[in-house]
Chains A and B, each alone.
Chain A
Amino acid sequence: MFALVDCNNFFVSCERVFNPGLEGKPVIVLSNNDGCVISRSNEAKQMGIPMGSPFFKIRALVKQNRVAVFSANFNLYGDMSWRVMEALRQFDVSVEVYSIDEAFLDASSIRPDTLAPYGEALQRKIKRWTGIPVSVGIAKTKTLAKVANEIAKKSQKSQGVLNLASPQYHAFALSKLPVAEVWGVGYRISKSLENSNIQTALQLRDAPDHWILKRYSITLLRTVQELRGIPCFPLTLHTAPRQSISCSRSFGTLVETLPDLKEAVATYVARAAEKLRQDRLLAKQLTVYIRTSHFRQEPQYANAVTMALPVATDCSHELIQVAARGLEQIYQQGYRYYKARVTLTELSPTTQSQQNLFDTVDRAKTQRLMKTLDQLNNQWGNGTLKYAAEGLKPQWLMKREHRSPAYTTHWTELPLVKT
């Protein structure tokens, strides 16, 4: 038995916890660079603001209706997500964190006649502990739990909790769900199914096995089996070890010169190296990728270069230097760059580091330097200590004009409470 707990309009809900005056009002959250809408309150949805809409398209609507706008505050959302998952763990069952705002719980130890009250208890605890409203869907398989959650979220009657353990309601529930909204059915598969006259989840459930296997894949067949109530996807609790660490952002303003590009890339390398040290890993390979914007009518250029490191390292300045050399190889003048990505690969745990006889770097001294850098940045806030290569007042920094404070992760940005 599975319970899927899913936060309602998660990013907006996070903002509302620290701005209670926004309850009942239209609120939206924008992606990095204030590009497009990535979260909407129910009131904003009702106003017709589509998910993913570019901000410039709805500016007039937003102004007219006094919609509250926030730039994505991932410091806050990441921390709130951790809190929601920790609160779920208080229930003493296995929790699989599926995404930033969803988790599957193992509900097999709960008495069947208490499943709905259990769902309500989950909802109440999360709301009380974190302020985040959630919906709960309960069923024998993950796919059905997702269906239950979808219905619970939208139906007034269910108040956000729906127990679909009993098969007698399945036919009705599945007949109301478009096939495109079934977990695991993507856009292309849904279009293909619709062409074969399979419009609803119910019709998909009742499609013959051999037909599904022949036209699609074993994965879709498993999804169909799950719709029938046969569990095929178990709870996965152990995450596989990381294969790569990336840092990638688009630029606030287009970048043309090599020095500016080096600054941006240095910042991304520093950020990726921080994540590397946090996970206690070393990298032996670094890839730099740059490209122009394909939204614009101008000459296009994209390229990447992969650099090998003589010794696996987690040292920021070593990685920055290597990235700069790589950038020199792929940079072409005359283009306006829109985005860069830095990826660290060939990762190994720090406990397995190997020495190289010809290593010219004082590893012990570097370790102490990195540790001091991380400690100071943790204590005083990100960016307290930076490499000069990252630039002092860069123009290419992400636009985040409407960002709320990092209420739970920076001492200098705590909520102020009227006393």
Chain B
Amino acid sequence: MASVSPGHIAPVDEFPLFLCRVSAGFPSPAEEYREGSLNLNRYVIRHPAATFFVRAAGDSMLGAGIHPEDLLVVDRSLEPADGRVVVAAVNGELTVKRLSLQRGKAFLLPENKTYPPLEISSALELQIWGVVTFVLHAL
């Protein structure tokens, strides 16, 4: 024969912007200002269907703040404009570089003096895969 158990109170797992103590009978003046939780996903991912995560393997972009094994947020919906850090498919391989479109010439630039810039010519098989919007670096 089963026993009757009391109602179960679920733990709170989202953190509201404001946490305040409520004393019986007196409503908190801060209650009206509660706005909701901070959602990192929504901050970082503007276009979920077009956003991919990739992992950096290498150090040619240290100057841009990208270290080996960092997580990169790549948004395929954004326009690959001059100056943006992009993921590009070069000869079938995915790589990260800064895009330079100046005076009719296109380059893929590293941000590390030990690496050479890559000129984009018709001979080079190039396709822009997406624009890097954020890098997540674990300290």
Contact = CB atoms under 8 A, between A and B. Distances in A.
Contact of B91 (A21, A90, A364): A21
Contacts, number: 85
Contacts of A90: 49
Interface stretch (B14-22, B27-35, B36-44, B54-62): B54-62
B49 A417 contact: no
A128 B77 contact: yes
B89 interface: yes
A419 interface: yes
B52 A408 contact: yes
Contacts of B77: 128-129
A360 B52 CA distance: 46
B49 to A, nearest CB: 4
A48 interface: no
B55 A415 contact: yes
Given A417-B55, A419-B57, A130 B96 contact: no
Given A129-B76, A417-B72, A419-B60, A20 B89 contact: yes
Interface stretch (A80-88, A258-266, A295-303): A80-88
B94 A130 contact: no
A22 B53 CA distance: 21
Interface in A70-118: 82-84, 86-87, 90
B95 A419 contact: yes
A112 B128 CA distance: 33
A408 B73 CA distance: 12
Interface string A354-368: 000111101010000
Interface string A110-144: 00000000000000000011110000000000000
B54 A130 contact: no
Contacts of A407: 52
Given A21-B91, A362-B5, A415 B54 contact: yes
B100 to A, nearest CB: 17
Nearest to A90: B49
B68 interface: yes
Interface in A391-419: 407-408, 414-419
B1 interface: yes
B5 A364 contact: yes
Interface in A27-49: none
Interface residues of B, number: 34
Contact of B76 (A21, A22, A128): A128
B9 to A, nearest CB: 10
B94 A20 contact: yes
Contact of B57 (A22, A360, A416): A416
Contact of A87 (B49, B68, B72): B49
A277 to B, nearest CB: 16
Interface string B80-124: 000000010101111110000000000000000000000000000
Contacts of A19: 92
Interface of A: 18-23, 82-84, 86-87, 90, 128-131, 357-360, 362, 364, 407-408, 414-419
Given A20-B92, A418-B94, 6 more contacts: A20-B127, A20-B129, A82-B49, A129-B76, A419-B59, A419-B60
The 10 closest A-B pairs by CB, nearest first: A21-B92, A86-B49, A419-B58, A20-B89, A129-B50, A419-B56, A83-B49, A418-B95, A416-B57, A417-B94
29 contacts: A19-B92, A20-B94, A21-B91, A21-B92, A22-B92, A86-B49, A128-B76, A129-B76, A129-B77, A130-B50, A357-B2, A358-B1, A358-B2, A364-B5, A364-B8, A408-B52, A414-B53, A415-B94, A416-B54, A417-B55, A417-B57, A417-B72, A418-B94, A418-B95, A418-B96, A419-B58, A419-B59, A419-B60, A419-B68
